[in-house]
Amino acid sequence: MHVYLDNAATTPLAPEVAEVMIPILKNQFGNPSSTHFLGRQTRAIIENARRTICSKLNCLPSEIIFTSGGSEADNMVFHTSIRNLGVKHIITSQMEHHAVEHTTEWVKTLYPGVHISHVKLDAKGNVDLEDLERLITSTNEKTLVSLMHANNEISTVLPLKKVSAIARKHNAYFHSDTVQTMGHYAFDLQDLDIDFITCAAHKFHGPKGVGFLYCNHKINCASLIQGGSQERGHRGGTENVYGIAGLAKAIELAYDGLDEHIAHVQGVKSLMMKELKEEIEGVEFIGETNPEKSLYTVLNVSFPRTEKASMLLFTLDLKGVCASGGSA
């Protein structure tokens, strides 16, 4: 028997999701760009999935662009911001996922004239909102703020509405990598004033290799992948039909009884913290642990120093416990 404690890296596929995907794999082989009836059938699957997602997030179908996952969606944000919106200044942090951290460094070399600023963080990974406002107003250049909704390693949660208000006050664009929170928290995109958020289905019991970018309808999103007019010209390439259907089903399952799910998993996390403190003297927790400021799905544990520290994950693995020592 295995104990799986690595859901922040990926989650097992829900049986209900597999049940949706398998018939499409077997029978719905038409190219969704084809105009004959088999193509129209697969096109209908994609558009029905898009509408399902929009109904959960309260946004327009035209605002959802299907991608291969969160990393591609994040890349699209930076290319859109620089190429279509004229952004020259990107504000981010030094605790972002590599999909943002490495990409911002790459676009800096790809697009001369673009510069990167890093907002200050406190000891628990909270963004210094005063420093954020200072950075936005430090230049007259068009600015993109890119800060993850919740950290995948230390669980600290960003106050999205407060950051959005600061960005809007100074006419900056706002992107949040929501890969760790999509499917785990409710989003009302009519209420949340934001330009871009991202999703990867495999973080909430959907299939790997599929996700989406939410791009506010006021913005013309630039295509990162050329060679086709799929996704209304925003992403070239034949769509991952069965993956998209699986993503939509996973979203449905995630939002069915979400409040009860949050309460249950937060209870498990709190119990684990209590038991670790009782059993191991000197154990500490990194990042925010207050339920109002932290992901209920992530716990970062620091154990007392020992000569066997380098063998901890290996020993856990031998005992059937799957845990992570890093972002994945």
CA–CA distance, 136 with 224 (Å, rounded to integer): 26
pLDDT by residue (tens digit) across 131-154? 999 999 999 999 999 999 999 999
Give, for 4, the enclosing helix (H) or strand (E).
strand 3-4
> Is 16-255 a CATH 3.40.50.620 domain?
no
Across residues 35-60, what is the average pLDDT? 97
User: pLDDT tens digit string along 257-295?
Assistant: 999 999 999 999 999 999 999 999 999 999 999 999 999
The residue with greater pLDDT, 323 or 165, is 165
Confidence of residue 328 (pLDDT cuts 50, 70, 90): low
- CATH 3.40.640.10 in the chain, residue ranges: 16-255
What number of CA atoms fall less than 13 Å from residue 149's CA on the CB side? 24
- Given a cut of 70, whether residue 221 has pLDDT beyond it is yes
Q: What is the pLDDT of residue 177?
A: 98
How many beta carbons lie within 10 A of that of residue 90, not counting itself? 25
Q: How sure is the predictor about 96, in pLDDT bands with cuts at 50, 70 and 90?
A: very high
**235-253 tens-digit pLDDT:** 999 999 999 999 999 999 9
Burial 163-199 (b: 16+ CB within 10 A, else e): bbebbeeeebbbbbbbbbbbbbbebebeebebbbbbb
pLDDT in tens, 16-47: 999 999 999 999 999 999 999 999 999 999 99
Model confidence at 325, pLDDT cuts 50, 70, 90, reads confident
The overall average pLDDT reported for the chain is 96
Classify strands 64-67 and 173-176 as parallel, antiparallel or unpaired: unpaired
Residue 204: predicted pLDDT: 98
pLDDT at 191: 96
Whether the pLDDT of residue 63 is over 80: the answer is yes
- pLDDT above 90 (res 309): no
Please tell me the predicted confidence (pLDDT) of residue 1.
80
How far, in Å, are 12, 150, 280, 302, 304 from residue 273 at the CA level?
Answer: 24, 19, 11, 11, 15
Which residues fall within 8 angstroms of residue 166, CB to CB, at 6 or more apart?
Answer: 129, 132, 133, 136, 145, 172
Task: Convert the pLDDT of each residue in 97-122 to its tens digit.
Answer: 999 999 999 998 999 999 999 999 99
Greater confidence, 326 or 90?
Answer: 90
95 pLDDT tier (thresholds 50, 70, 90) = very high
Determine which helix (DSSP H) or strand (DSSP E) holds 144, and give its type and residue range. Answer: strand 143-146
**How long is the chain?**
328
Q: Phi and psi at residue 99, in whole multiples of 5°?
A: -60, -25
